[in-house]
Amino acid sequence: MSVYVYTLPPQFNLGLLSQCNNLSIKANMCPAVANSGLGQPLNYSRRGHSAVTSSWYTTHQYTAEIIFHARLQNHPCRTQDPARASLFYVPFYGGFDALSKYREANLTARDELTFSLVDYIQAQPWWQRNHGKDHFMALGTVVWDFMRTMSNASSSCSSSSKVRTPGTLLKLPAAENMSVLIIERHPWQPNQHGIPYPSYFHPSTWREMAAWQRKMRLMERPHLFSFVGARRKNKAAIRNEFIRQCGESTRCKLLNCEGPDGVRRCLQPREIMRVMTRSQFCLQAPGDTPTRRSTFDSVLAGCVPVFFSRHTAYSQYAWYLPGDASRYSVYIDEKSSASRGIEESC
């Protein structure tokens, strides 16, 4: 197998990163996009972690598309000759385009870069060969950022600039021909394939990874279960129940992400890993969408993830997780009585 990496005009990828301070309405993303998407090096100097210090980074949950691009540029399967390629990678940073237009009310402006990309790719001779069936892209945000139907794109403005407005990328016929690697897929779209959220640990050797695994197997875990997150409304309100239960239990560790101090703590990898590496089970309640980066934080920490929706992991990451979910996780239906007594269920 050989992969050809398109050299796109910079406005589709690296040009977006040159405006990193405007990529998100919530934070300056310049530190996050550094080091090819790994973010800032993390001085993980706690005793016992020195062996893997150089492989830890403050990696943002939405930088998968940058990391993927950087890895493929140096991959041994990469070919510079498109005539010899069996696959074609389109390095579009669609997730960052979506983030930068998070509350863009003008739908024409919202979709401008997407339509330009599709026009560019469809004009390439290698697209014409199989109409894009051998092309793929990687996206660093969730699928719902790209699933607005064209029937909702006829007006130039949405009703409110305060509402998150999805783009149309994955509803366009060209994109439906391609394979899409994404951190949260639509469970019933066969051309979409879930890839893990980036973690904080990026080992460069098997020895580093094995050293971390050995340490996690030997960790003392005084907390039966833990939860890292904040309250939510509507469908994600089960989080509120877990926060209540955790606060009432001496066997639960809660890292509450509410308020300025809570948000700050939950953006610190050390704080998250300190909780999870000392916990036996880590609750993975859905938030704004079904998936959570916390799922992969818990796996990294050797903490058994407890899921309450099958779309948090089971329908998402078939390439990466064992087919037998009981080998690595616990599932509790959020509508069952067991979700009202987590301590007894664990």
Q: What is the CATH number of the domain that holds 272?
A: 3.40.50
| 3-state SS string for 138-172 | EEEEEHHHCCCCHHHCCCCECCCCCCCCCCCHHHC
Question: What is the reported pLDDT for 25?
Answer: 84
Amino acid identity at 147: M
Does residue 173 sit in the same domain as residue 288? no
pTM for the predicted model, two decimal places: 0.90
Does residue 303 sit in the same domain as residue 177? no
Does residue 129 sit in the same domain as residue 233? no
Does residue 186 sit in the same domain as residue 293? no
Question: What is the reported pLDDT for 319?
Answer: 96
Question: What is the reported pLDDT for 50?
Answer: 47
Question: What is the reported pLDDT for 44?
Answer: 60
Residue 303 lies in a domain: yes
Amino acid identity at 307: F
Does residue 291 sit in the same domain as residue 185? no
Does residue 187 sit in the same domain as residue 313? no
Structural domains of the chain, count: 2
Residue 204 lies in a domain: no
Residues of the chain with pLDDT under 50: 48-52, 153-163
Question: What is the reported pLDDT for 159?
Answer: 36
pLDDT digits (tens, 9 = 90+) for 161-179: 444 567 899 999 999 999 9
- Of 142, 161, 194, the residue that ends a domain is 194
Count of residues for the chain? 346
Cα gap 346→171, rounded to integer Å? 41
Question: What is the reported pLDDT for 152?
Answer: 56
> What is the residue range of 176's domain?
3-194
Cα gap 205→54, rounded to integer Å? 11
Question: What is the reported pLDDT for 160?
Answer: 39
Does residue 283 sit in the same domain as residue 337? yes
Does residue 23 sit in the same domain as residue 146? yes
Nearest residue to 275 via CA among 325, 336, 212, 229:
229
Residue 153 lies in a domain: yes
Does residue 160 sit in the same domain as residue 225? no
